[in-house]
Amino acid sequence: MTPTRDGTLILLRHGKSEANAAGAFGGWADYPLTPDGEEQATDAARLIAQAGLLPDLVHTSVLRRSIHTAEIVLDHLGRSWIPVQRTWRLNERQYGALTGRSKRRTRIEAGPEQYEQWRRSLPACPPPLPEDRLALLRADPRYASLPGEGVPAVETFADVIARVLPYWSDLLAPALTCGATVLIAAHGNSLRALAALLGHLDEPGIRALNIPPAEPLVHTITPDLRPAPSGGRYLAPDRARAAARAVAAEGHH
């Protein structure tokens, strides 16, 4: 199909989860939203409505904090009927043995340099998830279709980019080049991976990128898959910038 108009991509990190509230690494653990997180999702929906954006398609991870955020937004917009696709490829990064651990304690025990490497660099890899916890995840029916050995024991950020890339190429990009408005309700690292692919970011750019919770980030996608503006635009830019600074400082206090 020949595109007749630009597509619109809305990136939305889920609202505050119980892991966020505890200052912990969430990873693939299935933390729910907190009441504050539900309010944040509702506020994100108001911003999307005020901007006159009505999604045609929605994509989420298979984790309930992502799913619930999307449900709240669609309900507010009166769009609960539109197609929704869920995929493990949009899950949060598999943080291995760090899953559920306090970010502040991890930074103290591992040291600031190692902590930042684990959080922000492309190749750094935390210790893997213990075998007993990994076995439980691999038995989860959500992950029965995963290739290879199934659920990874741990991921680098480069691994997240690698699993998001085919989803972008095969599903998201074709919809956007046909002029669709696509909402992705996902996680800090899966959205960072998409933003890195969109913006062709190098490692310093990736390290500096922080996606705040429940702040809609809108990209106009041209037929040749170029985002306009570069990096997108937040619907509440001042608040989003402050929230992104708070994400960068997680574990420091």
Domain-wise residue ranges, the chain: 7-248
Do residues 211 and 41 make contact, with C-beta atoms less than 8 angstroms apart? no
What's the whole-number mean pLDDT along residues 113-142? Answer: 95
What's the whole-number mean pLDDT along residues 219-223? Answer: 94
Give the model confidence (pLDDT) of 38-53 as tens digits.
999 999 999 999 999 9
Place of tokens 């690494």: 25
What architecture does CATH give domain 7-248?
3-Layer(aba) Sandwich (3.40)
Which residue among 59, 68, 92, 187 is the active-site one? Answer: 92
Which residue among 14, 59, 187, 219 is the active-site one? Answer: 14
- Six token digits for residue 190: 């899966």
92 tagged catalytic: yes
Is residue 92 predicted with pLDDT exceeding 50? yes
Is residue 191 predicted with pLDDT exceeding 70? yes
Residues 57 and 175: their CA atoms lie apart, in Å, by 9
Q: Angle, to 10 degrees, between the axis of helix 112-120 and the axis of helix 103-110?
A: 120
Mean pLDDT rounded to a whole number for the chain? 95
Residues 184 and 66: their CA atoms lie apart, in Å, by 9
